[in-house]
Amino acid sequence: MAFIPMFLVVLLSVELMIFMRPSMASPATFAQDFDITWANTHIKQMQKENAIQLILDQSSGCGFTSKNKYMFGRISMKIKLIPGDSAGTVTAFYMASETNGTRDEVDFEFLGNRSGQPYTVQTNVYARGKGDREQRVNLWFDPSAQFHTYSILWNRHHIVFYVDEVPIRVYKNNENKRVPYPNSQPMRIHSTLWEADNWATRGGLEKIDWSKAPFYAYYKDFDIEACPVYRNNGCRTNSNHWWDGPAYQRLNPVQARNYRWVRVNHMVYDYCIDKSRNPNPPRECLAGI
């Protein structure tokens, strides 16, 4: 069992009591909100469609996407990742627009590992076609032992990546500093399980061991609290949703402390300080949280 500092447990408890968001939608079944888009033989619905199993073997990976496009909100899923030797695999949970040259995208990518090594989560943000904003955090628990909640909060002010309600990354809206921000294109929710052993584990040094296949990842509690985009329904301009409220425009003090704890103790890569890629830090890296 992973060690979690007592102060973090206490702070999380306080945060959940004080700063709970006002809208708590019931998680939907998989079939209500999603379609299988890749290898339907490799996605199995379980628990009366309340959970699914994703399968990766030598014949195929798999993927699914939301029926609707969304413009701002909060997306959460509970995921149990591949146990044991998962090197070379990537389990991804992300949002993306349906535009190529000007694509917006917000990524969680869970990078497989050799047995006994930490699981790494990579996040990335694309805005108007520009990405290359990778950050990596080693998770402080075994994400294959039980389900954990992974969430994306996306509003006009910032994008926040959460792991079990702990913020691990913040990408602020810095358009006033001429930094692109995803705020004009609706996005669908996607998830995939696939082979990427040319880069996923130790930069591609660790290859996938197909003798361990098939590989399984599990999802449940598909919780979408976001504005579905239909024709001229005001998602882009309506700022009266709970996720645009004052409590969600910046991290509160508890969240900020948890965020710093993650960054100090568990961050293993940050494009902002990679001098080989960015001799001068990009403008968004100087903005803080």
Q: Which residues are catalytic?
A: 105, 109
Instruction: Enter the tokens of residue 6.
Output: 């007592």
Eight-class DSSP state of 37: E
Among all chains, which residue has been given the structure tokens 């798999």? 62
Distances (CA, A) of 216 to 116, 237, 247: 18, 41, 37
Alpha carbon dihedral 288, 203, 64, 125, in 10-degree steps, equals 20
Among all chains, which residue has been given the structure tokens 């358009």? 175
User: How many other β-carbons are positioned within 10 Å of the β-carbon of residue 110?
Assistant: 25
Q: Is 130 left (phi over 0), alpha (psi -120 to 50) or beta?
A: beta
Distances (CA, A) of 258 to 129, 151, 163, 197: 31, 15, 11, 32
d(C-alpha 98, C-alpha 188), whole Å: 8
Eight-class DSSP state of 278: -
Backbone angles phi, psi at 28, to 5 degrees: -85, 165
